[in-house]
Amino acid sequence: MNDTTSEPQRRTIERYTANERTNHWFVAIAFVLSAISGLALFHPALYWLSALLGGGTWTRILHPFLGVVMAIGFALLAAALWKFNKMEPRDWQWLRQGRDVVNNREDRLPEVGRFNAGQKLLFFVLVVSILGLLLSGIVLWRQFFSIYFSLGVIRVAAVVHAVCAFVLICAIVVHIYAGIWVKGSIAAMTRGTVTPGWAWKHHRAWLREKLHATHPRPRSD
Amino acid sequence: MALQSLDIVRRSATTTAPPSVREPHTGTVAKLIDTTKCIGCKACQVACMEWNDLRDDIGTNVGGYQNPHDLTDQSWTLMRFAEYENPDKGNDLEWLIRKDGCMHCADPGCLKACPAPGAIVQYANGIVDFHEENCIGCGYCIAGCPFNIPRISKRDHKAYKCTLCSDRVAVGLEPACIKSCPTGALVWGTKEEMHQHAAERVEDLKSRGFDRAGLYDPPGVGGTHVMYVLHHADRPQLYNDLPEDPHISPAVSVWKGATKPLALAGIVLTALAGFFHYIRVGRNETHESDERAAARETEHVRHE
């Protein structure tokens, strides 16, 4: 017996740490429950979703707590990933070539760091919409906070809450689809790793950074 | 079903047509509150408590006759007292007393805002009623109401307000407050009859020097099934801020109007766009050539 396997084990690259993955899926679960309960109260056609949370009254009770849990979880995730989501000049070029993006012509796009411009845009849409939901949601939280606000403020908060929720849900639909579309992305968030080829194709600048970090250039002097 | 008086013409959070074959040929009902005849005795408040089995907490006296201070889940009607010094009559003091409570709008903002199916209904006779067993306690009705009437109970977190004694009206009785009024300030009948009665009252008041007397039946909410005769119909705000031109807030109309179908359609279209992108363009996969390129890059960096 020797300790070499017949096929060389393909090396993988860590994309998300266990903590990042846990945080992501914590927020994802809180989002799904918040969205189900929120949609149940938003449109009569979806009121049946309230059954999934134990009926209308339980939906009303749980929804704001679920929203706050989501906002806190997201704040932690956003703080950890903030520095990777700053827009750079090459990101604007990436966005201008949106047609190449959606048609799988990545070879024509500028090199991408840890996150591409679409992911960065999503990041900031999530930051703004979740902040809007949190602030307007506090105003609408009848049981504890609504008495501190005038009827005019409550009415505007209801509109803000609905608009932010719409933007958030659409953004997450796009986010989920992107995961289904770009193969290997879901494994990145479940196993935490990607293959070098995946990184080369989708996040080449990030791969180079990673390689240089593990194989630092020898000093010239 | 033989309960025509309980026919529901509008039901909260319901998108299909309610039973609408039977129409009330005798017309809808209305309560007329003649503020010019009211002496502020509060018999109507007591009658409301008795009939509806309500007992509010004993409050504190703040130097006025208004008691309790505001509508609550236990006080569905309330005499609001305003002291007005009329400059046109040498600053004569006028005691403007208005029996406040649900106005039973023809176009009810509470019902429009309610997300719980069947928690708020409008009967064919015009009464807007809360069915608390379906209420989930969100308080949207409070945001929807142009008159600031519904109140959420701290005990069960459900919304309560005047029912216009829908249970009494259903069996041919007048509301409890009407029965108790000693001066005839509260009158009950069909909306048409109440319009006629109010017209007589307004004519009488004008002959007595109240030039601006009139009926309060605000068109902004489609008219109401509780109406006021006011000595100063040109300035309803004098009566403890009775709104001059009440209507459902534009914010509520947007939130509960176009936003609902458009947002739902937007979400569905976003998902469909994704699905058809997958069908037309297809998955974005990593190939063996990418792995080889990555391996070359790795070697390159290692030997730099």
Our measurement of the distance from residue A27's CA atom to the centroid of its chain's CA atoms, rounded to an integer in Å, reads: 9
pLDDT digits (tens, 9 = 90+) for A80-97: 999 999 999 999 999 999
A61-73 pLDDT per residue, tens = 999 999 999 999 9
Cβ-count burial A79-98 (b if 16+ within 10 Å, e if not): eebeeebeeeebbeebeebe
> Kind of pairing, strands B120-123 and B8-11?
antiparallel
- What is the arithmetic mean of pLDDT over B2-8? 67
Q: Please tell me the CATH code under which domain B4-247 is placed.
A: 3.30.70.20
Q: Is the pLDDT of residue A5 over 60?
A: no
Report yes or no: B157 and B137 within 8 Å, Cβ to Cβ: yes
For residue A221, give the amino acid letter.
D
Instruction: Decide if pLDDT at B174 tops 60.
Output: yes
pLDDT score of B74? 97
Closest CA relative to residue B179, chosen from B24, B287, B50: B50
* Percent of chain B surpassing pLDDT 70: 98
Average confidence (pLDDT) over B182-186: 97
Pick the closest to residue B140 from B265, B261, B248 (CA basis).
Answer: B248
A-contacting residues in B 4-43 (Cβ below 8 Å): 13-15
**Helices A151-181 + A18-42 axis angle, to 10:** 130
Q: Is pLDDT at A9 greater than 80 in this prediction?
A: no
CA angle B6, B11, B14 (to 5 degrees): 145
Quick check: is A175 catalytic?
Answer: yes
Does pLDDT of B99 surpass 70? yes
CB-based contact (8 Å) between B280 and chain A? no
pLDDT value of position B218 = 98
Structurally, how many domains does chain A consist of? 1
Q: What is the mean pLDDT of chain A?
A: 93
A-chain CB neighbours of B295 within 8 Å are 196
Over the stretch B57-97, which tens digit does the pLDDT of each residue have?
998 888 889 999 999 999 999 999 999 999 988 999 999 99
Whole-number percent of chain A with pLDDT over 70: 93
- Cis amide bond preceding A89, omega within 30: no
What is the DSSP track for A23-64? HHHHHHHHHHHHHHHHHHHH-GGGGGGGGGGTSHHHHHHHHH
Strands B226-230 and B29-34, bridge-based pairing = parallel
B residues 285..304 contacting A (CB < 8 A): 285-288, 290-295, 297-298, 301-302, 304
In a domain, A210, yes or no: yes
**What's the confidence (pLDDT) of residue A163?**
97
> How many degrees, rounded to 5, is the angle at CA B95 between CA B90 and CA B98?
140
Provide the pLDDT for residue A219: 57
Give me B18's structure tokens: 């309610």
Rounded to two decimals, the ipTM of the complex is 0.91
pLDDT, one tens digit per residue, over A41-65 is 999 999 999 999 999 999 999 999 9
CB B34 within 8 A of CB B187: yes
Query: Closest Cα of chain B to A3: distance in Å?
Result: 23
Give tens-digit pLDDT for A97-120. 999 999 999 999 999 999 999 999
- The CATH number of residue A134's host domain is 1.20.950.20
What is the average pLDDT across B152-180?
A: 96
Examine the pLDDT at A22 and tell me if it is beyond 60: yes
Give mean pLDDT, residues A175-195: 96
User: What is the nearest CA distance from B66 to chain A, expressed in angstroms?
Assistant: 22
Q: Which residue of B has its CA nearest to A196?
A: B294
Domain residue limits, chain B? 4-247, 259-302
Catalytic residue among A63, A175, A203, A212: A175
For B227-267, how does the pLDDT look when each residue is reduced to its tens digit (9 = 90+)?
999 999 999 999 999 999 999 999 999 999 999 999 999 99
Q: Which segments of A43-116 does DSSP mark as H helices, in order?
A: 56-81, 89-96, 98-102
> DSSP of A179-210, one letter per residue?
HHHBTTHHHHHHTSEE-HHHHHHH-HHHHHHH
pLDDT above 90 for B272 = yes
Q: Contact B142/B252 with Cβ under 8 angstroms?
A: no
Residue B248 Cα, gap to closest chain A Cα (Å): 11
Which of B13, B136, B252 is opposite residue A57, by nearest beta carbon?
Answer: B136
Residue A115's closest CA among A25, A215, A204?
A: A204
Whether B119 has a pLDDT exceeding 60, the answer reads yes
Eight-state DSSP code of residue B107: S
Structure tokens given for A160? 């803000």
Is A47–B252 a contact, with Cβ atoms under 8 angstroms apart?
no
Task: Report the distance separating Cα B201 and Cα B227, nearest Å.
Answer: 13
Does the beta-carbon distance from A197 to B291 stay under 8 Å?
yes
What pLDDT is stored for residue B88 in this prediction? Answer: 87
* Residue B225: closest CA among B261, B292, B160, B178: B178
First vs last C-alpha separation in chain A? 46
Query: In the 8-state DSSP scheme, what is residue A11?
Result: P
Q: Is the pLDDT confidence value at A144 over 50?
A: yes
- A121 band by pLDDT with thresholds 50, 70 and 90: very high
Please name the residue of chain B whose CA is at the shortest distance from the CA of residue A12: B291
Domain with A117, as residue range(s), is 16-84+110-214
What mean pLDDT do residues B176-197 have? 97
Indicate whether B143 pLDDT > 50: yes
Q: Can you tell me the mean pLDDT for B186-212?
A: 96
Across the interface, do B274 and A146 touch by the CB < 8 Å criterion? no
* Rounded CA separation B150/B140 (Å): 10
CA distance B126 to A23: 53
Residue A1 covered by a domain: no
Is A219 within a domain?
Answer: no
pLDDT at residue A4 tops 80: no
Provide the shortest C-alpha distance from residue A117 to chain B (in Å).
17
Q: Identify which of B5, B301, B8 has the alpha carbon closest to the alpha carbon of residue B128.
A: B8
Instruction: Select from A83, A78, A73 the least CA-distant residue to A23.
Output: A73
**Sign of the torsion angle spanned by Cα atoms A189, A195, A200, A204:** positive
User: Percent of chain B, pLDDT > 90?
Assistant: 88
From residue A9, give the alpha-carbon distance in Å to each of A4, A6, A12, A14, A17. 10, 9, 9, 15, 21
CB A193 within 8 A of CB A187: yes
Give the number of A-B residue pairs with CB atoms closer than 8 Å. Answer: 158
Contacts of A142 in chain B (CB under 8 A): 137-139, 142, 152, 157
Q: Is residue A95 part of a domain?
A: no
pLDDT at A43: 96
